Amino acid sequence: MYNFRKVTDDLFWVGANDHRLALFENIHPLYHGVSYNAYVLLDEKTVLFDTADWAVGRQFIENIQAVLAGRPLDYLVINHVEPDHAASIEEILLRWPKVKIITSPKAVILLHQFGFPIEAEQVEEVREGDTKCFGKHTIAFVSAPMVHWPEAMVSFDTTNGVLFSADAFGSFRALDGKLFADEFDFDGEWLDDARRYYTNIVGKYGPQVQALLNKAANIVGLDNIKYLCPLHGPVWRKDLGYIIDKYVHWATYEPEEKGVMIVYASMYGNTETAAEVLASKLADRGVTNTRLYDVSSTHVSYLISDLFKYSHLVLASVTYNLGIFPPMHNFLADMKALNLQKRTVALVENGSWAPRSGALMREELEKLKHMDILDDGVTMASSLQEQNLPDMDALADAIAASVLK
């Protein structure tokens, strides 16, 4: 049973949704599924842009067959070789053995490493700025290394302004019948999933995403882009400036909002209480754009996502085995792995007989770039004792002054 949608008069979405996958890349929880997008262009030649994860392979093939309606498939453009998009290549080769593959030289190497049976004469390698005409439509190819793998490229239809943007501008969440971002309440319903996708999958590669955005501006011209067709999530045909602005913030590690994210590690509830007391004191001072998270019960992908959103972070942690509580340590390691920078941070430590977590968290934060660690901090000798409250007031004063300035 096929299920495709029209993007333009001669371009069709032939992807599929996956609601069964629990963990994207076997790490990141999915509660609303994910889509694997691919597109077919019906010109004098027929062109498929990317394939799909094998989990949705049957649906994907039926969609292509329905759109082709008996025509042969002449070309397969491979923008990205990661298996969530490339796994169905072999099925395409089996069904349309005469198809020509257009991709980057690095992708050819990776395709062989993944074991795809591709003959040299079947491949047209394209480099930065190369173009290919398929009839009415001329496609330009632009390399996009490390967005999010080294072989990645994007393809721009110079005829109608469609940018096949690979992982860029992608999002978690299944499309479920809709396709275009303007068919959703994107800001209300989707933005958090788009940010969580970007920050956890591509977040490390901000400089490379900036390079791609600069190329899009200088080579293609942002005004010439009329459609963004990513490999996951909705297609953009309206208000492209909205999502491009989000990408500029994320790629440059600039926060979207002034606000405070308080992440606590608490074994028996005392550090949790301290985090709540701090949040109350911030509210007393007029800082209400705050979020409170238990690091033990919040998947780190959500913490990373909100960290890219908010300007300020408070880490409140018990001392555990004379070190940092392991889930908090994992969060700090993920911040480093994803190149997080440019945040103002305050620390609260707890340790009844050996409070060490504050100094150790500071050491980890000092490995990140452009972090402003507030000198004011709070050490809790046991539970929230009366003598610690003045420290908490001073900390709230310092955070509020920084947020409200």
Annotate each residue in 93-132 with x if it binds ligand FEO (CB under 6 A) or - if it does not, as one string. Answer: ----------------------------------------
With 0-12 / 13-18 / 19 or more C-beta atoms within 10 angstroms meaning exposed / middle / buried, residue 33 is: middle
- What letter would DSSP give residue 388? G
Nearest distance, CB of residue 273 and ligand FEO, angstroms: 41
Q: Is 271 helix (H, G, I), strand (E, B) or coil?
A: helix
Q: Which of 41, 60, 85, 235 binds ligand FEO (CB under 6 A)?
A: 85
Contact between residue 164 and residue 79 where contact means Cβ atoms under 8 Å apart: yes
Nearest distance, CB of residue 154 and ligand FEO, angstroms: 13
Q: Which are the contacts of 82, defined by CB distance < 8 A and separation ≥ 6?
A: 148, 149, 167
Q: Which of 28, 80, 246, 329 binds ligand FEO (CB under 6 A)?
A: 80
Span of 80-88, 261-269, 292-300, 342-350 interacting with ligand FEO by CB under 6 A: 80-88
Question: Structure tokens of 92?
Answer: 């395409």
Annotate each residue in 144-183 with x if it binds ligand FEO (CB under 6 A) or - if it does not, as one string. Answer: ----xx-----------------x----------------
Nearest to ligand FEO of 146, 244 (CB atom): 146
Contact between residue 6 and residue 162 where contact means Cβ atoms under 8 Å apart: no
Span of 13-21, 78-86, 279-287, 360-368 interacting with ligand FEO by CB under 6 A: 78-86
- The residue among 295, 255, 195 whose CA lies nearest residue 403 is 255
Residue nearest to ligand FEO (CB): 82
- The residue among 217, 193, 147 whose CA lies nearest residue 34 is 193
Span of 77-85, 219-227, 267-275, 360-368 interacting with ligand FEO by CB under 6 A: 77-85
Cα distance between residue 58 and residue 20, in whole Å: 15
Cα distance between residue 394 and residue 380, in whole Å: 14
What residues line the site for ligand FEO (CB under 6 A)?
Answer: 80, 82, 84-85, 148-149, 167, 231-232
